[in-house]
Structure 1
Amino acid sequence: MQDGGGAVTSSCCSLAGSEAAQARCSSSRYTPTIPVGHEVHVRIRTRLLLLVLSVLLPSFAAAALAVWYVYSEERAAQEESLKEAARSFALLVDNELQTSEATLQALAESPSLARGNLPEFYAHARSLVRPPERTIVLQTTDGRQVLNTRVPFGTPLPQQRSSNIEALMRVHGMDRTLISDVFYAPIARRYDFVIQVPVRRDGELRYFLTMGSHALTLNRLWQAQRFPAGWRGTIVDRNGVVVARTDEAERFVGKPLRDYSRNILRANAEGQYESVTLEGIPVTAFFSRVPGADWTVLISIPLAELRKVPTRAALLLGAMMVGLLVLATLLARHLGARAIRPIEELRRAAAGLGSGEEVNYRPAGLVEVDAVGLALAGASRDIRESQRVLEERVSAAVAEAERAGRALQQAQKLEALGRLTGGIAHEFNNLLQTMSTALELVAMTADARVRSLVATCRKAIERATTLTGQLKSFGRVQEGTLATVAVDRQVEAALELLHGALPSNIALEVELAPGLWPVKVDALQFDLALLNVALNARDAMPSGGRLSLKVSNLHLEHSAQDLPAGDYVQIAVADSGSGMSPEVLARALDPFFTTKGVGKGTGLGLPQAYGFARQSGGLLLLHSEEGQGTRVEILLPRAHETPHPETPRSESSVHMPASHGRVLLVEDDALVREAVVPALQAAGFVVRVAENGEQALAMLRADSAVDAVFSDIVMPGAVSGQALAAAVLRQFPGIRVVLTTGYADQSVLLPGVQLLAKPYAIEQVIAALATPVPAPAG
């Protein structure tokens, strides 16, 4: 049809003899035009750059995380080093005091003192000390001074002690070495401290031998350390009074620390805290107790100095990361420019074809591109009038293909996100299960100090469980984590998170309607959804504002927004922030979409809340106008079960409830098996182990003398945990079945089968295994 039409036109033009006829024939020829629409046309070079940026942006995010990790690690290493320095200096002070004690012990065994030759003993004692820094005093048991090397022998001496040695003797007794607190010595008119040792003769306490030392003598210990400028070292006694100090010692010796610091030092043997020095400088103080004196050594470092080293390391790593990213961007730009040239040549050939001109294409060396270019050159000699219709059809087909491609890409992205988060949650929960069970076994046999460390590890596992729980928002709902909860109690428990996330310039208003219905949700996801909504509201109110949280019952008479008619609990969160434009509102629930700068937002906050609502059988509605604030409504279906009572796990418990019975443990993860088997055995169970479903069925068919089967759901092989449970219920109805999983993409719909979410507590397993098998229906 096209060739025939062209022949007719050519014939007509050739037969037109007059100039007017030739003009009419020429004006009828096709002139290609490019349709102008409302879509924004993007160049291929721009698309290539966007593709490169889509690869580099996650790398930049990873680099930012690496910088933060380096900063945190450097900060932690620095703090640990300073704690060790405080402990070492405390031992140095203790060694100095022990040296003085050894001198006194040697004097106590002096032959001249044994013979009662006090002048000779006075000369001997005076030769061993360096006046006026130190003084040797000999006292009777009733506190009367016999001699004092600070004054000539025979000089009248005061009969009252200035130190608190007598108070210490009342507490600790007289038969041990005692070290006083710092006190003002009236004879020397300075601040001293004393070390006292008892002197016995023939088993009878005869004297007390004390060494009084100027408090500033301990300053030479600080001077030997050569601390950097701005660092301050301080030695304080039991009462928090300064004994020695690196800077301005004469000014501060004898003065007490602030009550805040004294309370911390009194309650802890070592540690760190932030405070303000006596000069008013904000510092972080690292302290450690001197073992033999109950004094405390403090190393105070200005906050600016403390942050300098980790900040420098993080900045160095960040600069390297940014440099590499810039280099990669420039390289990608260069390669993109080289790859685009043949396409540009092809574009010019297509432009010539569209204008009705004959295309003279020059091969560029790319087989596929050259084939298209030569085809265009050949087609340009034949296509004239039909070019406009052809371009319109091609344009429509390309636009439709692009729309289909974008839709497919979005669907694949969401599916991949769900699979990725599910896989990560499964693997991490297996690891957390191993550590949790192993720590429970350690706590059963360890001493109090180790149990304290175990409790700390448990808190870390609970935090890691919380983090992996956040991944479930984008996967399928996990029945092991669902529970019927009272909404008012759940909201009140989440308020602590909200108060901690909101600054003081944002007023939080909470209104809970009376008689709220219960809902069946994942409690962790519930708290996280409220927190994410609150964080988005906080970022929309940088100068402060009002955040309102209202919870009420709602009855829908008719279905709306994909929700069937029925009873729902409505959670409405409204802020007075900047609101959203229509363009931002349209994409606000898309994963990874964010309007914040790099490193300031993940784009997963509102999508998590939306995913939580959909998982719970409800819906999230988003209302916002630019400049008018934002309102988020979460509708959750009413649950008709009674809310589960809160049974918090006791961290101090180290005993496992006793039980008995025969259990078949089916678990493919070796680490989990190695931790759970001894735990079940310690509880009194006789445990048999299978590594997969096929092996478990074979063992049961060979010997079904078990009381319960405890199996993982996700396992390799043809028989999954659910298939195993169904087979056991069908072939061995008297055996109790308990399933567990870190993540599963299928629902468990087997009657009488209990599901536990990893990581679980051994007490939960024991309770589940001890539950009687329900009688068959009918």
Structure 2
Amino acid sequence: MRIRTRLLLLSLAVLLPAIVAAALGIGFVYAEERGINQRNLQETSRAMALAVDRELGTREILLKALASAPSLARGDLATFHEHARVIAEEREASILLSDENGRVLLNSRLPVGTALPALLPTAVQERRDAGPDVTIVSNLYRLPRNPDVPPSFALQVPVPHTARPHLYLAMTTPASQLQALFEQQRLPSDWHATIVDRQGVVVARSSDPAKFVGTHVRPELQDSMAAGEGMHPGMTLAGVASTAFFSRVPRSNWSFLVSVPDAELRRTGLWASALLGGMSLLLLALATLAALAVARRTAQPMEDLRHDAQQLGDGAPVQARSSGLLEVDAVNEALVGASERLRRASADLEHRVAEAVASFEQSQRALLQAQKLEALGRLTGGIAHDFNNVLQTLTTGLHAARLGSDDKVRRLLATCERAVTRGSELARQLMVFGRVQEVRVETFDLAQRLREVQPLLTGALPTDITFTQDVTPGLWPVTADPLQLELALLNLVMNARDAMPHGGRLRLRAGNSVGQSPAQDLPPGDYVAISLQDEGEGMNEEVLARALDPFFTTKSVGRGSGLGLPQAYGFARQSGGALVLRSQVGEGTTVTLVLPRAQVAPQEPAPAAPSGGLRGAGCVLLVEDDPLVRDTVRSGLEVSGFEVQTANDADEALRMLAGGHCVDVVLTDVVMPGSMNGVDLARLLAREHPRLRVVIATGYSDRSIDMPGVRTLAKPYALHQAVAALNEAMAG
């Protein structure tokens, strides 16, 4: 632990009691403010309950005065009805006169003498439970015979000086008239005031009355309201976490609730606590800054020692200094002595390193040939396969030419000539790998050259690396040595292969760059960019800075010579272009060859000159990915009497068989793209189509294929050999 840290911890230990005291004070202030808020809200609910009681009392006084009217005492219901109608319209209410059995004698809204329905049974029962001489306030109700009438409540008083049966005067009022109480109190917008009757039904509410009037409050809140006055934490009907403060309305035994969101309750306490906490943190920060200043001055001699140690590590001389601390000065003296000894040892080490570098360069030259041999071994299988396809095309085409008509002979001979051209290209690519060629600069179609070199590039890759090529239509021609271009691309592909030991994707893209400068040292103009992007490990900045140095490599001994990227860089510079290298650790590497656009059109190749028994019968499904072999073999078999259907790979062949194509025998190649090769296809057909015969044509003489019912045909084969093998397979 550093001295500065120790001093800072010491300061914190001194301040810790003050921090604890401040935290306790903050907690006390928060609790006190919360208690004050709760008491104030309880008083608010009590005052609002009394306001509701006064509103009901006003209606009671009015009813009692009306019940003492002389017209009612002498039984003049017509005069009393007119008096009651005027009062009821002023109050937007209804006044009813009924006896103790609930029979309605008068309704201010209907003419005298109209047949009137009886009171609700609940109103009659409430009167019987309360007694004949008590004013009662009903719960909220709706008229079952008229559901369009809004929810209402009734206040009922006895009529004095009447003999039995007793008469009662009631005023039914819409509950919406109580909403004015909320507007008079001007409660905060996020508070919710609610009037609840004795059954827990909402009579009036300050917000959303149309939605909540007539609904029941939550059961747990109704249980709490049985105490008459108090508070209840929970959820409002709208689903907001709040605390409800309630108080009993004396005249009606209703309850008045004020629901305040919990966040609002905590706000004042939190504000006071935040103020006190901020002051405490400010004092703590000032004390910490003071402690850091003292620690910095105390730790400066130790920082000087660290600087001396860094100078020693960098090989720079260490200066002697005096700090006033005996221990620090002793360490500084030891570092000065070590610096002198290290400088003497460094000179000796440089001499030894020079000798080691010379020996290493000699070893690298020896490894160059080993790298070529190792890459040649990886390419042998793919090139041998392509040569066998060329020979197969020639062999089958020439045999079929003997049996065909003049037009078919000419087409077959043209195919054979294309196969010869392809064989010469394969030989030229082998010369490229061996660097046995002369410098030959020419203007050529770059898109066509990239298509031709693709088999060479894919042959250098293992099966777990996917190679894709994307060439922009209308790609410009370039003027360069085509063999050097292919060698550069091959080197870049092999570098990408070694960077992806566990497989991945390698993308080749080629496109035009109009009027730009793709590289820093190139003038603006028209260029063609060929980029190879891998998903390998990538390079850090140190490796990226030296990647183009000859003989620099990060591969293990025997895995590389460090000449791949330098060769590609030299080719690009000799062609008037540049090489752009971008890489990031974990995200792969992108190498871009930038070549100038050719100023002349590429030379068109000279057109090819026109070219010129065993029988079979049955339907043959030919599975071959090479178009030259596929077209030639198909023509030869058709000339020999077979009906031939073709498929590019095993997946397409399986789809054709599943689609109901009539096939007697399958002739398939071994090496094909797709999810399975020819051997896998033969095994699958043996399981799913046991009556279907299979003939496998292979160019690998060392591959053993021992499957019941499957015949093999070595490539290149003659047409009569293919006809014989197919006939024997169908006969078997």
TM range, smaller chain: 0.3 to 0.5
The normalised TM-score by structure 1 is: 0.37
Kindly name which structure, 1 or 2, has the bigger radius of gyration based on alpha carbons. 2
The normalised TM-score by structure 2 is: 0.39
